[in-house]
Structure 1
Amino acid sequence: MREIVLINITGEDRPGLTAAITGVLAQGGVNILDIGQAVIHDTLSFGILVEIPDNGEASSVLKDVLFTAYKLDQQVRFTPVSESDYQQWVGGQGKSRYIVTLLTRKVTAEQLQRVSSITAKYGLNIDHIDRLSGRMPLDMPADQGKGCIEFSVRGEPADPVALRAEFLSVAQELNVDIAFQRDSLFRRNRRLAVFDMDSTLIEAEVIDELAKAAGVGDQVAEITERAMRGELDFRASFKERLGLLQGLSEEVLEEIGASLRLTEGAETLFAELKRLGYKTAILSGGFSYFAKQLQAKLGIDYVFANELQIVDGKLTGVAVEPIVDAQRKADLLRELAQKEGLRLEQTIAVGDGANDLPMLGLAGLGVAFRAKPLVKQSAKQAISTLGLDGILYLLGFRDRDGQD
């Protein structure tokens, strides 16, 4: 009678170990049903599920595995598996799979405990846990570290809405980000990424900076804040704010443009997206004058933003149609995807304001970046802890991949 056995091997990792063990199994004519191997801090954990033919050699094969492992200074455990248990395991391979991604400045046991408890509470089983971030020095400053742990989970959550709400609550409590997304074909096959500009690619709202220079900073900042929270219609608020800038000198634009700072991780993100073959775009309710500066600096393919009308060296304060508002952003995302021959599932959209929500909802991966509470709650995913390059982790990108 054939036997099914799970072989677990642990010990100090060394070259040739896998070849030695599988070589013994090969001599016994063994079939491999499942296999997995991980190395943590030079310590090996190697599991292999085997089917040993009904030829009377089972005890001999396992004895040879034990002897070979002993010579390699490894510990071995054999666990018999019944055919009914094996068939039940095979039957589970059609279950849905999801990816839970934990992003933080420094990974703690409490963070892992809370995430794993929530997945279990909603009926999800963890299959794999991987560290995507690089090795972190012990003396890394608290505000500069990057930690990312990816959980591959199996099953269908009992209540997806409640699951996401609980992840969001824990993320706010522990000052981490927790992403939950279906593990589909498109996750690693996205090819277009579009971005809001103000407070997303740059650490400022340009219209507020212009307003300060025009002496109407407080008035415009208040309108901007209410619009970003979703309390005001974007088109109306945009026209109102722009009207307050009437008469501002064109020279001020150059000064402000030179002072704008890129958001943390922007240069790394765009360098990697370009290396991976992505097309990128700015879809901004801000101004094309500044967006084109970013385009040159980051190598962005497309720019769609609002034009500043200038007459005799001064801003007129008149809005030039078409205004890039929430619906325009969503329409542009759809048009760009069609132009590039892509499905919407292959797109990424990133923004921080209420006027970004339509495009975030339309994209395959919509990310609310350092966003207002309303936007974080409404978007599919949110990143507030790390920089823009944290988006790479949501694609399954490992820090070491950037060194290839």
Structure 2
Amino acid sequence: MREIVLINITGEDRPGLTAAITGVLAQGGVNILDIGQAVIHDTLSFGILVEIPHTEQASSVLKDVLFTAYKLDQQVRFTPVSEDDYQQWVGGQGKTRYIVTLLTRKVTAEQLQRVSSITAQYGLNIDHIDRLSGRMPLDTPADQGKGCIEFSVRGEPSDPAALRADFLSVAQELNVDIAFQRDSVYRRNRRLAVFDMDSTLIEAEVIDELAKAAGVGDRVSDITERAMRGEIDFRASFTERLALLKGLPESALEQIGASLRLTEGAELLFAELKRLGYKTAILSGGFSYFAKQLQVRLGIDYVFANELQIEDGLLTGVAVEPIVDAQRKADLLRQLAEQEGLRLEQTIAVGDGANDLPMLGLAGLGVAFRAKPLVKQSAKQAISTLGLDGILYLLGFRDREGTE
């Protein structure tokens, strides 16, 4: 007759502990059914689910484990597990798994309580909790912190739409981001990332900056806002705004290009994506003059943006066809994925405006970055609290895995 026992060991972490405990189990001919270990602030929590082939061996094996743990200054708890309970546990391994990712400047107990309560409310069980962000000094300025906690959950949500709505509501209330995505083989195997440019890779809408130089800033800015909110068609708004720039000297482009600032986290994100073997692209309704500057600066592989028509050193107020609008962005994403031999599930798309929604919906991971409310509600995922490098956390990337 066999026995199944869950062994829990806690205490100060020290080298050789795992080898010592498993060595005792090895001498008893024990089979390992499950094992897990975590260390928090040098305190160990170690669990082993074992099958002891013969009942008469159990007492001797467990006594040896207890003695070895005592010598290592560890506490031990033994919990018998019935075969029925074990078989029920085995039967649950086929259940769907999801990843819930909490992103914030500073992790608080309230944030974790609200996220864990929502997962429980919709029938999801938390299997693992991991900190992906690095260790933060206590005196880190509030606007410079980076916190990310990843929950691995099991089950099928009773109402996926309501679950997402609750996560979005909590995210807005507590000024955090909460991502919810299926845990699949593609999550850590994506290989193409495409980005909008204006207000995504750079902290400006270039057409608004050009409009200021042309003396029509307020008129163009108002149209831009309405377009980004999805109140008016992008192509129509683009044509209207561009016409107002007619006669602007070409020299203004250089001045504006020199003043553009990268979005927080952009350089780190692209450095890591390149190191991980990703192909990257700009798919922008903005202008290629500025996109090509970013291409050089960030090492981007592809650029698709609108070409300004210039005659006699002056902008004509029109762009060279084809215009990169919402549909073309989605088409280009599909085209690039096919060109690179990738499935769409292996792609990432990032943008902030309504004209980005088709490509965000098409990509395996679509991220609305510091986006307007309509876009945040419609996109699969959203990041507003951290910089662009927060996207790495959605891939399961840990800060300690970085180049620094």
TM bin (shorter chain): over 0.9
- Residue by residue over 1:182-213, the C-alpha shift from the partner in whole angstroms, topping out at 9 and shown as x without a partner, is 00000000000000000000000000000000
Kept in 1, the 8 Å contact 2:272–2:403? The answer is no
Count, aligned residues: 404
SS class of match (2:139): coil
Q: Which residue of 1 aligns with 2:81?
A: 81
Partner Cα separation in structure 2 for residue 177 and residue 106 of structure 1: 12
Structure 1 segments, 4+ long, off by >6 Å, are: none
Q: Alignment partner of 1:188: what SS? A: coil
Aligned to 1:365: 365
Which residues of structure 2 form unaligned runs of 5+? none
Deviations 1:223-243 (A, max 9, x none): 000000001111111000000
Residues 121-270 of structure 1 mapped to structure 2, 5 A cutoff: 121-270=121-270
Per-residue deviation, residues 270-292 of structure 1 (Å, max 9, x unmatched)? 00000000000000000000000
More off after superposition, 50-59 vs 361-370:
50-59
Following TM superposition, by how much is the alpha carbon of 1:55 offset from its aligned partner in structure 2, in angstroms? 5.7
| CA apart distance, 1:318 | 1.4
Per-residue deviation, 1:319: 2.4
**CA shift digits 1:66-115 (9 cap, x unpaired):** 00000000000000000000000000000000000000000000000000
For 1:232 and 1:324, the matched residues in 2 are separated by: 16
The answer to whether the Cα contact below 8 Å between 2:3 and 2:55 also exists between their aligned partners in 1 is: no
d(CA) in 2 for partners of 1:89, 1:287: 56
Shift of residue 337, structure 1, vs aligned partner? 0.1
What is the distance in 1 between the residues matched to 2:167 and 2:15?
A: 40
Task: Spell out, residue by residue over 1:36-87, the C-alpha distance to the aligned partner (whole angstroms, 9 max, x if none).
Answer: 0000000000000000011621100000000000000000000000000000
CA distance in 1 between counterparts of 2:341 and 2:229 reads 34
Normalised TM-score (structure 1): 1.00
**Unaligned segments of structure 1, at least 5 residues:** none
Cα distance, 1:35–1:221 mapped onto 2, change above 3 Å: same
**TM-aligned CA deviation for residue 320 of structure 1:** 1.5
**Which position in structure 1 is the counterpart of 2:344?**
344
Q: Distance in 1 between matches of 2:318 and 2:163?
A: 46
Distance (Å, rounded) in 2 between the aligned partners of 1:341 and 1:141: 44
Tell me how far 1:391 sits from its aligned partner: 0.1
Identical residues among aligned pairs (%): 91
In 2, the alpha carbon distance for the partners of 1:188 and 1:397 equals: 8
Q: Aligned to 1:397, what secondary structure does the other structure show?
A: coil
What's the offset of the Cα at 1:403?
3.5
Q: Cα distance, 1:139 vs. partner?
A: 0.2
TM-score (normalizing by structure 2): 1.00
SS of the equivalent of 2:186 reads helix
* Matches of 1:403 and 1:197, distance apart in 2: 25
Offset, 1:216: 0.2
Q: CA-atom RMSD, angstroms? A: 0.6
- Hey, what's the Cα distance between the residues in 2 that align with 1:377 and 1:330? 19
> Tell me, what secondary structure is at the counterpart of 2:78?
strand
C-alpha separation in 2, matches of 1:18 and 1:319: 66
Q: Distance in 2 between matches of 1:132 and 1:164?
A: 22
Counterpart CA distance in 1 for 2:282 and 2:53 is 60
Looking at structure 2, the residues matched to 55 and 278 of structure 1 have their Cα atoms a distance apart, in angstroms, of: 54
Contact persistence 2:189–2:346 (CA under 8 A): yes
Which residue number in structure 1 is paired with residue 313 of structure 2?
313
Residues in 2 aligned to 1:55 and 1:3: alpha-carbon distance in whole angstroms: 6
Shift of 1:332: 0.2
